[in-house]
Structure formats: C-alpha cells, structure tokens
Structure 1
Amino acid sequence: MKKKVLAVSAACALTAATAVPALALENEFHGMFRVFGTMSNFNDGGSGRLLPTDATTGRDPKTRSFVEQRARLMYIAKANDDLKLVTHFEIDSRWGDNSYANGRNSGGAIGADTVNLETKNVYLDFNIPSTPMNFKVGIQPLVDSYKGVFFNTDVAAALATAKLGNGSVVVGFARLDDADTFTLGSAAGRSTSTPGKAKRDLYIVDGKYNITKDVKVGASYYLLNVDQKAGDNFVPTSTTQTYDYMRHTFGVNAEAKFAPLTLDGFLLYQTARTNGPDKIDQKGWAANLTGKGKLGPGTLKASFLYASGDSKRGTVRDDNTYYGITNETSGANGEHSFYESDMMILFRNKYNITGDRAIVYNVTNVIGGFVGYNANITPKAFANVNAGFVAAATGNDDFGSARVTIGGHKSDYLGTEINGEIGYKVFDNLTASLQGAYVFLGDYYKDTVGTAANPQTPRDPYEGRIMLNYAF
C-alpha cells in the first residue's frame, strides 16, 4: 500500500512539474536609486529654462543648497520569449519638501507618508512568431535616432519594428496630447473638448542599415500633425486663432569606425505651414558631428551641435527656427534634449532629477561645441572633465522661453562651461561621485540686469553636487 501511495504521489509531482513551464510567468525586477546634494547659485530645484538674468536670480543670486532623491522601479512580466508586459515607476522627492500629501516630486519632509508614485511606462512588448516583426504598444520610452534633439520622452505610442537582413525599419504612431486648446504662452487654457478633435499626433518612419560592421547609416521621416489653437512654438500675430498644420521633419544619420576613432553625426530638416488666418512658413534645420577615440587610460571626445533660429521670429510670416517636440501640458516644456553635451548648466544633464534647470533647456536657436575626456584611473576610480562653448544661432533673444529685456545683447555668445566629475565604484552597482560646474557668461548677458539707467551684468553660475547612484 505504501509503495502504491508513493508511486501515485511521484506521478502527481512529475505531472505538476511538467505543467509548470507552460503556465509559469517569469518575473524580472530592475531599477535604480539616486541621491545627491546640490549647492548652486543657479539651480533652484525647479525644472525648465532658467536665465542668469531672471528676476528670481538677479545680479548676485544667493547660493541654494538642497538634497534630491529618485527611485525608479521596473517590473517585467514575461510570459515567454515573445511576449512580456513592461512597467516602470518613479518616486522623486526633495528632502524637506512636504509630507502627508498627494502629488509627484514630494514626500521628503518629516513624516513622509506621501502618495507620490509616478507611472512612467506601461506597455506590451511582443514578437510575431516566425516573422521579423516586433510590436510595442502602450506608454513607453521613445527616443529619436538623432541623440534626442527632436524627441526623448515617455509617450503613449504603437511601434512596429521589422528586422530585414542588415537593416531594420520602425513605423509608429504616438498621441502627444488630446483635447488640447492652449492659447499662446499659457498652459491654463486646457479644456476637455471632444477627444480626437484637438490633438497633436506624431507619426514615425525610421530606417537603419549596416553597410559593414563598422559603417551604419539611417534615414527618418517624422510627421507632427497639430490640430489645436495658437501656440506649440509658433508666434502668430493673434493668440486666439485656430491652427491646423503638419510639421515634416526629414533626417539622415551615419556612424563610421576608423580604429581608434569613431565618427557619427546627423542632419535634420523640417518644414511646416500653418493653415489658420496667420499664414506662417516654418523651415528649420539641425546638425551634429561627433568624434571620439581611445587616448591613454580613457576616451577623448568632441561634438558640434547647430539648431537654427530666426532673429525676426514673431514679426514676419516666415520662421527659420528648428523645433524639437515640446510638452504643451507642462511648464517644464522640454521633451527633447542633447545629453551628449555632458553639460550641467548650459544644457540639461542626464543625472538631473527635479532640479532640472538649464540655460538652453530646449534645443533651438543654438550653436555649440563640446570637448571632454573620460578617464579610468583604476578599475574602480574614474574622472571626467568637459568644456562647452555655446552661442545663440541668431540674435533672437527668445530662444527657449523668457526674453532678456534690459540692455539688449552685446553679442550672441552665451558662455563657456567647465565641469568635472571624480567617482569611485563602491560596489559593482553602486557609484559615489563628486561633480562641479562653472559657467563664464558671455557678452550675451552683459548689462542685462538692473535698470535701463543702471544696467548690470549677472554673476557667473556655478553648481556642485555629491551623488550616490545604485542600479540593479
């Protein structure tokens, strides 16, 4: 009897074991935790463009000190190799901000206990068996093939990717916002009009091809279809007239390796014409060239960026400004970037949390050159140093956002940034580092604060940070 019981039990266990793989769900967890303390006369802990001439900073702004932290948690529910659900959440706070509250970017004050979980991504990622097709459907991270200068954001989208031999093609659609009826310069005019009637949609066609293992080329077409009121970067003569236009953006990019040097770059051209009573023809372009290579214990890199502007924007019916994708529902506005600059003050920095300030927050009307060196001192210690030289592409004082109204400009040169970082890998996944940046302001800001009778020049911005970064 005992033998029969054991035999039956073994058979049941074996049946259950063989059934599990067909029903089991593979769970993956990833994420990061970052905390850093900041001391700066420029960064005020907010997000968006900040001018050295802003009234909030004045000629001699006070030094601010604060601590921020960010946690990102990713859970992936994998049914099999061809099907998974990806979710990504974020918790941000500044130490001492508030507690017992509801809202993002908060909960760092005594008591904590704040509802502040942000949903970054929720999307389905699946392959069609026996085909080269992959689909991603849902709120997902979306980055262009041009280092993020057109879009680098999280957005509700549907993307189809086909791998064809040495190349690949991506075709997609993203709804940027809906029921959107903003008026010029205001985010307070949002209404709940009929869904699908006042919207901004982005259509994507993106191709890449590997000519050899060392030479890659690509081409893209991005269509921004806008059906909303005045705004979205255009400056018409009226702030209430309805605009219905399509902005066409064409791009080519390439990368070539010539050991030990790697060169890559891109060219973007865009055109649009508004269909409202104020007819505006827009034509803009952007270009980049980057070179990097091994030198001694590290890597030397140099990069150039140009994004066109227009000194007469808003006064005539033509606009030669290049525009990246912006956010019409947020005061921060920027949904594109150029993190390759490795700037901390002149451009947005890849490590920024809620204190996401920059002189050039939106990549438009700007020309810049950047050099840097990343050195591995020991297997665990490293050091980076960077310099950036940035000017307005034209004399227009409205690139990005607020204008300088006192004194005009003595030149288009914005300034020179020098920054550096030294760090140590405490563990494989934990890095501690010390960062610092200083900007020598150019004559663009000379005599731009104070009064018209007594113009003054603002102090040079600086920032220092100490950071812990854990990734898993």
Structure 2
Amino acid sequence: MRKVIASAVGLIFAGGVAATTASAVENQFGGYWRTRAFVQDEFNQDGESYGRIDSRTRLYYTAKFNDEFKFVNKFEFDYNWGSEPLGDVGTDGTVFEIKHSYADFTLGNVRTKLGIQGYTIARGFIFDDDFAGIVVAPKFGNVSPSFGYISEKTEDGGGYDYTEGIAFFQVGVQVSDNLNLTPYFIYYSADEGTSVDSEGVVTPEGDWDSFYFGADFNLKMDVGSVWGSLIYNGGDYGDDDIRAFLGALGVDAGIAHGQVFYATGDDDPTDGDMEAFVDPIGAWYYWSEIMGYGIFDNQVSTGSYADGATNIFAVNAGVTVKPADKLTFTADLWYAMLAENDINGEDELGLEVDGKLTYALMDNMNIDAVLAYLVSGDATGDEDVFESGVRLSLKF
C-alpha cells in the first residue's frame, strides 16, 4: 500500500525535490477505504428501484518539515463495480482525484492553510465541502478567530469580470470548560446566469448577494451535551430582498439523542421578498438515511432538499446501545415537513424509521448494516420509500 501512496506523491513532486531537502522531511501516511452495496426503492416515486456496489480509496500523505510547517495531500479513487473507467473488467482506469493539496504553516500565533482543502461552517448548514482558497486562524488564549475565502469562480480579464464565492469570519470562544460559543459572519456572492434580449443586451438573472449572521454553541453537562445553531440570512437575490433564518437544536444524553431544525421557505415568490433560506454552494447537512442522504449519500427522497437546509422542518429522536463490546446499534425516528407548501399545496414529507448496526471486525475496520423505511407524506408521493445496504470501511 505504501508503494501506491509513494507513487501518487511522486506525481505531486514531479518538478523534483533536492535529496538534501527530502531527507529533512517527516513523511506521514494514512488513508480510508470503503466498499458499499445498497438498494434504494421509490426514491423518485417512479416505481423503480436503484442498486449498486461501489468502492472508494483515499490515500493521505503529509510532508512535515517541522511543527510549524507541513504540506498536506489527499488522493481519491472512486468506482462503481462493473462500470467504466475503473470498475469494469480489466480495470486499469485512469481515475485519479486530488481531494486536498495545501500548505499548512504557522507564523507566530497565526495558522494559515492555503490551497485545496476542506472546511465546515455552521455544522454544514452553510458550508461543508472541499474548495480552493485560504483559511487564516490566529490564536489568542480562549479566543480563536478564523477568516478566509472559499472560491467558486475567480477570473478577471479575457472577457471575464467576476469574483464569486464565500468570504467568512468566525470567532470560537471557550466561555468555560463546558461551553463553547462560535459567532460568525458569512458573505456569499454568485451569478446564477444571464439572458440576452433581441438587441444583444446581457442581463443577469437572479444574482445571489447574500449574507449570514449567526452563532453555534456546544454545552457539555454531566448528563450529556446540548448543541445549537441560529442563523439569519439577509441580502438580495436579483430584485428580491432576502429575509430568512434557520434554527437547530440537538441533545445527546448517552443512550438517547435527538435534534430539531427549521429553515424558512418562501410563501409567495411574487411579493418581492425571498423568505426561503439560501443554500450557498457547498452546503451539506446530512441527517436521516432517506430524506437526508445518510451514509449512502446517493440521492434523497422526492420533495426533500438535496444539500443545504431550506424550506424544511425536521425532528428526530433516537437511541444508541452497545449490546457487546464490538457491537453498536442505533435506531432513529424522523418526522419532516416543508415549512411552506409545495406547488401542489402539500407539505408533509413523512415519517422515517432508520436502523444501523455497526460491528468492529478488527482494529480500524468496521461493517455497517442499514435498514430505513419512509412512510411517505403527500409532499413525497403515494409510495413508501425503502433503503437497505451494507458498508465495509477501513481507516489507517
């Protein structure tokens, strides 16, 4: 395996590195691998079921020069069994993905990550993805501010004149040993397309120019923990003013857990006010198995949002038990509905039951078995939705 990792790293250093420099580098290796088999039925309410077996390999290599400077790389290979270009008979595919490649360095008390990396803002309600950009994080005792830029499009000249992406600033405050508070401000700009009239005049259609102001908190107590997020979304979309918000609250009390979240929808698209919470590009908040992606993250049921949260109310209650040292069982009950009716005047997504069994086959290797069933509401469709699957995963 390390020979494979070393070969991948060689592509990154194709320009050549002096032997005297390489000898001073501490080489750190790691990775992740998984294979899944799953079936999803009635997700699109078309009477059809979908199933596949797929695999993913991630190889991590970090060149650590010293405690203040390292160069981080993550490579990925994805394939569906029996499909080109990598999973067909003969394999030998040319699939090679670079997930991360960034410099991580600290000058004084300021840590900077520059390049292709991952980041999470507001638990994924605003952003949880990989991107090209920069994150700067000074450290001042119990206060940890961070700011950066997530690039969606950045070109100027040659017929292009725009900068689209997410600029953010947040401050982590360790209020006490048990309480952490993180207020943040995010600005999101994006061009959603243009139109051309009969005279050749180009007019933007629905440009996003939105901002978010909010805070997360995490509270630890003797009986468990509580977390929450509250976000106000303002700005404008084209000629419409954005006035929206999102709230989420969760608890974890050992064997029991639960959460609830609400993101506003737009009750009248013609009134000049957009009241639906805006999902920036890169927003991913996973929740239930069927309505919220879950561990198979292939598709969601009809009517439910696909990535970030908008026009949704969802509530969850669940339990996690360990009947044996290597065995964990998790059961969850979810109810979800739209905050505002859909175009058919419906709002109920349904009641979902999820079960997941996890067994540690050996150190660092787990197998998960999942069963999920959604009793469809009118906003989902007439047919109930079903999902089942297994996943074998390894971390090293």
SS in 1 for 2:139: strand
1:40 maps to which residue?
40
Q: Following superposition of structure 1 onto structure 2, how do residues 269-418 of structure 1 map, counting pairs within 5 Å?
A: 269-274=232-237, 279-294=239-254, 299-313=255-269, 315-326=270-281, 335-339=282-286, 341=287, 343-349=288-294, 351-352=295-296, 355-358=298-301, 359-362=304-307, 363-397=309-343, 408-409=344-345, 411-418=346-353
SS in 2 for 1:444: coil
Following TM superposition, by how much is the alpha carbon of 1:261 offset from its aligned partner in structure 2, in angstroms?
2.3
Match of 1:168 among 144, 166, 169: 144
8 Å CA contact retained: 2:112, 2:135 = yes
Match of 2:186 among 218, 222, 225: 222
How far, CA to CA, are the matches of 2:96 and 2:388 in structure 1? 28
Following TM superposition, by how much is the alpha carbon of 1:230 offset from its aligned partner in structure 2, in angstroms?
5.0
Summarize deviations over 1:373-420 as a string: whole Å, max 9, x none: 1222211111111111110010134xxxxxxxxxx24x4110111111
Q: Following superposition of structure 1 onto structure 2, how do residues 171-250 of structure 1 map, counting pairs within 5 Å?
A: 171-178=147-154, 194-195=159-160, 197-227=161-191, 229=193, 240-241=203-204, 246-250=209-213
SS in 1 for 2:123: coil
How far, CA to CA, are the matches of 1:258 and 1:357 in structure 2? 35
Instruction: Tell me the amino acid that sits aligned with residue 168 of structure 1.
Output: S
How far, CA to CA, are the matches of 2:56 and 2:340 in structure 1? 37
1:464 maps to which residue?
388
1:114 maps to which residue?
93
How far, CA to CA, are the matches of 1:301 and 1:134 in structure 2? 35
8 Å CA contact retained: 2:39, 2:389 = yes
Instruction: Tell me the amino acid that sits aligned with residue 193 of structure 2.
Output: K
Summarize deviations over 1:346-370 as a string: whole Å, max 9, x none: 0022x336x3445321311101001
The percentage of counterpart residues that share the same residue type is 23
Instruction: Tell me the amino acid that sits aligned with residue 365 of structure 2.
Output: L
8 Å CA contact retained: 2:244, 2:277 = yes
How far, CA to CA, are the matches of 2:273 and 2:158 in structure 1? 30
Match of 1:152 among 117, 125, 128: 128
- Residues 204 and 166 (structure 1 numbering): CA distance in 2 closer, same or farther, change over 3 Å? same
Summarize deviations over 1:58-103 as a string: whole Å, max 9, x none: 2xx233332111111111111111111111111111111124xxxx
Instruction: Tell me the amino acid that sits aligned with residue 287 of structure 1.
Output: G
Aligned positions, number:
369
How far, CA to CA, are the matches of 1:242 and 1:96 in structure 2? 42
Instruction: Tell me the amino acid that sits aligned with residue 284 of structure 2.
Output: S
1:430 maps to which residue?
365
- Residues 42 and 24 (structure 1 numbering): CA distance in 2 closer, same or farther, change over 3 Å? farther
Give the greater-gyration-radius structure (CA).
1
Instruction: Tell me the amino acid that sits aligned with residue 60 of structure 2.
Output: M
Instruction: Tell me the amino acid that sits aligned with residue 300 of structure 1.
Output: A
Pairwise CA RMSD of aligned residues? 2.4
1:186 maps to which residue?
none
How far, CA to CA, are the matches of 1:463 and 1:193 in structure 2? 49
Structure 1: gaps (5+ residues): 1-19, 44-50, 53-57, 100-106, 181-191, 232-238, 327-334, 398-407, 447-456
Q: TM-score w.r.t. structure 2 length? A: 0.87
How far, CA to CA, are the matches of 2:40 and 2:206 in structure 1? 41
Structure 2: gaps (5+ residues): 1-19, 196-201
How far, CA to CA, are the matches of 1:348 and 1:68 in structure 2? 16
1:8 maps to which residue?
none
How far, CA to CA, are the matches of 1:436 and 1:290 in structure 2? 23
SS in 1 for 2:379: helix
How far, CA to CA, are the matches of 2:213 and 2:145 in structure 1? 15
SS in 2 for 1:254: strand
Instruction: Tell me the amino acid that sits aligned with residue 332 of structure 2.
Output: N
SS in 1 for 2:171: strand
Following TM superposition, by how much is the alpha carbon of 1:199 offset from its aligned partner in structure 2, in angstroms?
3.2
Instruction: Tell me the amino acid that sits aligned with residue 290 of structure 2.
Output: I
2:50 maps to which residue?
64
Pick 1 or 2: higher relative contact order, CA cutoff 8 A, min separation 6. 1
